[in-house]
Structure 1
Amino acid sequence: MHTATMSRTFAALLAVVLLGAEVLGKTVTGLFKSELARQHSGQFITTFMYQGDSGLFVCRLDNSALATEKESRLLLYPDMDLDLDNLSCSERLSKAQLTISLRQEEHNQTIPHQTSPTAWKALYADRYTCQDSAVIPAHADLAFTVLLLNTDSAGNPLEHFSAEEAGLQTFYFLLLLAYFIACCIYAQPLYQALKKGGPMHTVLSVLSTALALQGFSALCNYIHLARYSRDGVGIPLMGSLAEFWDMVSQVSMLYMLLSLCMGWTLSRNRKPQSRPLQWEQSPASTAVAVGGVVTQGVLLLWEQFSESEGGHHSYHAQQSLAGLLLMALRVLLTLLLASVLYQIISTERSTLKRDFYLCFAKGSFLWFLCHPVLFLMSAVFNEHQKEKVVTIGVILCQSISMVTLYQLFLSRSLYWEVSSLSSVTLPLTMSRTTPRGRY
């Protein structure tokens, strides 16, 4: 499987993700810069989706005297159809729904009641923002900390999650609980199957690795979100690791699915099926699989860095060109797999083997198509629900796909009867006649 090459590729991906990814929390720290505010007719600070009553915007300053001298202020704009980029500087500043004059060390601004979750944008401006001819004094930049809070279940403004992020922490907790229960039930028989070897050892190894990586991704996301719920920053390293493990899981599954389909097809054309349904490698099948992996990996990384303000598992939203290309790639790969599997099934005389390939096709198509289909379906949901629908839906569908493939390759009812190998080499053979087959 060219393990060394794949390992070097994954190591490079890890370095790029950890060194380049930016995870922005909803406790925002930085510097108010007069020069930057003048260049952009207001310095962009952050966006946050408020919902319900008593949303809170808190700004803390390190130097309130300097803020007073510069006539510093924060401008808050609700999400609306008005295109601020086409307005003059003075018009842009006047369109703010809320203006916070920065005169004290801490300012608390209550957000009006939101009938539906609404994204608010915060900009900084001062006396020099719209005066192009005025000389900006050589003052030090103004350090700030901004906290953005929604109300919790008790009605208190303590919830750091924006409306589109609410509920993700609970989802990852339940997902981890499901992984833990499944691990307790199936870890030992799966370990014995892998230890025994057999014709499908490589497939089971890749499936186990991909599922474990998804578990690591869920754990990192939960740790990040648990900390994020308390301070609005979280642990950016955990967020980056979650993205990385998920990407490695994606490319591992892609390599396996392409290798299996192409290997089976080339094997049928090359020789009789003395070893049916196994991982048949050849230069051509390896080239196709590696090409698909590299293309998907590049698009995943491109999509990560194309987001101006990344969220949790933000690439599932697919709002950039790279994300759209990634979905198109998955559709094309689905068509390729469908063509390959159709060639196999149409010439296969054994009903059991056809059932095997059909079940494999269902698991593979679910893996590839769930993302594009959920993205299209999310169009009917409200703005604050779209990313959660896609993110949660993709993770669940891909987990179901893995379970389907596990059942297929470990199934005695199918694989036992279509294989020409002895029962001793079969993975997880639960023979009723010999004690060694029981678990």
Structure 2
Amino acid sequence: MGRESWLLWWLSLWSSACLWLRAAQAKTVQGGFSSAAARAGGGQVVAQFQFHGDCALLYVRINNVATAIGKEAKLHLFQAQAWLKLQESPQEYNCVQKLSKAPLTMNMNCTEQNLTVSQVPYPDTWYVFYVDKFTCEKNYENSESEDVQFEMVLLNPDTEGNPLDHFSAGESGLHEFFFLLVLAYFVAACIYAQSLWQTIKKGGPMNTVLKVLSTVLLLQAASAFANYLHFSSYSKNGVGAPFMGSLGELCDIVSQMQMLYLLLSLCMGWTIGRMKKSQSKPLQWDSTPTSTAIAIAVVVAQGCILWFLCHPSLVSISLIFRDYQREKIITIGVVLCQLFSMVLLYRLFVSHSLYWEVSSLSSVTLPLTVASGHKSRHHF
């Protein structure tokens, strides 16, 4: 498999995974309650949500109430840690005993029902399970039973205490963060875009690097804008715009690959002295096995580099925080580290470009030049 084919396969895999994760995390959930699925797993996992506050709400609307009543359909809510402890000791509790330990239950005997999740001491992940009279039966043969179609909305209290916020505790604040990020990109573009464009138009040995960095910056800005649009829609309907969310993830992935390409090119000997090659071509690589091995080793070993190691580092750091804080720490931290690294790289290469420009002008305008390897006879 060639390098281009491998990259396309990798991008398609990531975009599909991101699309699935966006759909799995939606806080307005639609589907069907299945007796077979509930019996196979000791309860059908319908949704998970990080409730907080005293007025969190779970709203359920079902279509066929008669079927739900005939099945004695219920919803059981478990805190994640409590459910995991029950799963770790399968011999101590049977199916009925496990389900009886649910702190919150809802009998589905109406078309529309609400369940208030109150007195949550701190934000925590809750699992919502569907259970009916067939779930714990050993001799269950009614596999053709009709599913109960439903729509479920999970809400947290907003700033005024009303249960209207679709964001879980782990996602609250991300909408505002991406708004500020897009605003910062816009202000920076208004201030620096013209001068940067003039620097790129002048050419020089840093021209290609600045083009790659600018492409990466545009991809990062597009990713931030797409995520902002996704969260804006998410705040209204609990589903968001999955396409925009996946597009933001895809732009971020492509920008990281561009940065990796730039770093590999620099490590493989692309220097100022090699810029005699055509400026229209991409960065030129040495193709010898030795240079390739050295370059890969150098890139792997570059632990000062914020762009690629910030994510695993922040994941490790986030483990000391509570579960609902980890996603925000990782997301915000990665974006800020990448943005900071972009600023540093721009400062470095723009200064080198200006140095080259001054050096080029001085070599033309100075009246006296000294050849390399010779000493001047004139003393000043």
TM superposition score category, shorter chain reference: 0.7 to 0.9
Instruction: Give the CA deviation at 1:385.
Output: 1.1
Q: Which amino acid aligns with 1:205?
A: K
What is the correspondence of 1:359-438 to structure 2 with a 5 Å cutoff? 365-411=305-351, 414-417=352-355, 422-423=360-361
What is the correspondence of 1:13-28 to structure 2 with a 5 Å cutoff? 13-19=10-16, 21-22=19-20, 23=22, 24=24, 25-28=26-29
What is the correspondence of 1:51-200 to structure 2 with a 5 Å cutoff? 51-82=52-83, 83-85=85-87, 86=90, 87-136=93-142, 138-200=144-206
**Structure 1 pair 334/369, CA: closer, same or farther in 2 (3 Å)?**
farther
Instruction: Pick the aligned partner of 2:255 from 249, 252, 255.
Output: 249
Q: Which amino acid aligns with 1:282?
A: D
What is the correspondence of 1:226-237 to structure 2 with a 5 Å cutoff? 226-237=232-243
Instruction: Give the CA deviation at 1:337.
Output: 3.5
Paired with 1:405 and 1:12, the residues of 2 have a C-alpha distance of 30
In structure 2, list runs of 5 or more residues that go unmatched: 278-282, 364-380
**Structure 1 pair 285/224, CA: closer, same or farther in 2 (3 Å)?**
farther
Paired with 1:130 and 1:157, the residues of 2 have a C-alpha distance of 34
**Structure 1 pair 124/282, CA: closer, same or farther in 2 (3 Å)?**
same
Instruction: Give the CA deviation at 1:81.
Output: 4.1
Instruction: Give the total of aligned pairs.
Output: 347
**Structure 1 pair 152/238, CA: closer, same or farther in 2 (3 Å)?**
same
Q: Deviations over 1:225-272 (max 9, x none)?
A: 0110111000111111111111111111111112112315xx7xxxxx
**Structure 1 pair 47/13, CA: closer, same or farther in 2 (3 Å)?**
same
Please report the RMSD computed on the Cα atoms of aligned residues, expressed in angstroms: 3.0
Q: Which amino acid aligns with 2:36?
A: E
Instruction: Give the CA deviation at 1:54.
Output: 0.7
Query: Secondary structure of the residue that 1:122 maps to in structure 2?
Result: strand
Q: Which amino acid aligns with 1:245?
A: C
Paired with 2:354 and 2:229, the residues of 1 have a C-alpha distance of 42
Q: Higher helix proportion, which one?
A: 1
The structure number with the bigger radius of gyration is: 2
**Structure 1 pair 200/286, CA: closer, same or farther in 2 (3 Å)?**
farther
Q: Which amino acid aligns with 2:185?
A: Y
Q: Relative contact order, CA 8 A, sep 6+: which one is greater?
A: 2
Contact persistence 1:51–1:118 (CA under 8 A): yes
1:206 aligned partner: 212
Query: Secondary structure of the residue that 2:129 maps to in structure 1?
Result: strand
Query: Secondary structure of the residue that 1:150 maps to in structure 2?
Result: strand
Q: Which amino acid aligns with 1:240?
A: S
Contact persistence 2:50–2:168 (CA under 8 A): yes
TM-score, length-normalised on structure 2? 0.83
Q: Which amino acid aligns with 2:301?
A: L
2:374 aligned partner: none
Q: Which amino acid aligns with 1:184?
A: C
Paired with 1:423 and 1:397, the residues of 2 have a C-alpha distance of 36
Paired with 1:98 and 1:106, the residues of 2 have a C-alpha distance of 17
Contact persistence 1:276–1:419 (CA under 8 A): no
Contact persistence 2:268–2:291 (CA under 8 A): no
Paired with 2:80 and 2:276, the residues of 1 have a C-alpha distance of 55
2:264 aligned partner: 258
Instruction: Give the CA deviation at 1:199.
Output: 1.1
Contact persistence 1:17–1:240 (CA under 8 A): no
Contact persistence 2:206–2:353 (CA under 8 A): no
Q: Which amino acid aligns with 1:33?
A: S
Instruction: Give the CA deviation at 1:141.
Output: 1.2
Paired with 1:14 and 1:377, the residues of 2 have a C-alpha distance of 27
Q: Which amino acid aligns with 1:376?
A: S
Paired with 1:38 and 1:175, the residues of 2 have a C-alpha distance of 46
Contact persistence 2:267–2:298 (CA under 8 A): no
1:283 aligned partner: 287
**Structure 1 pair 84/277, CA: closer, same or farther in 2 (3 Å)?**
farther
Q: After superposing the two structures, state which structure 1 stretch, 248-257 or 169-178, moved more.
A: 248-257
Paired with 2:289 and 2:50, the residues of 1 have a C-alpha distance of 47
TM-score, length-normalised on structure 1? 0.72
2:224 aligned partner: 218
Contact persistence 2:307–2:341 (CA under 8 A): yes
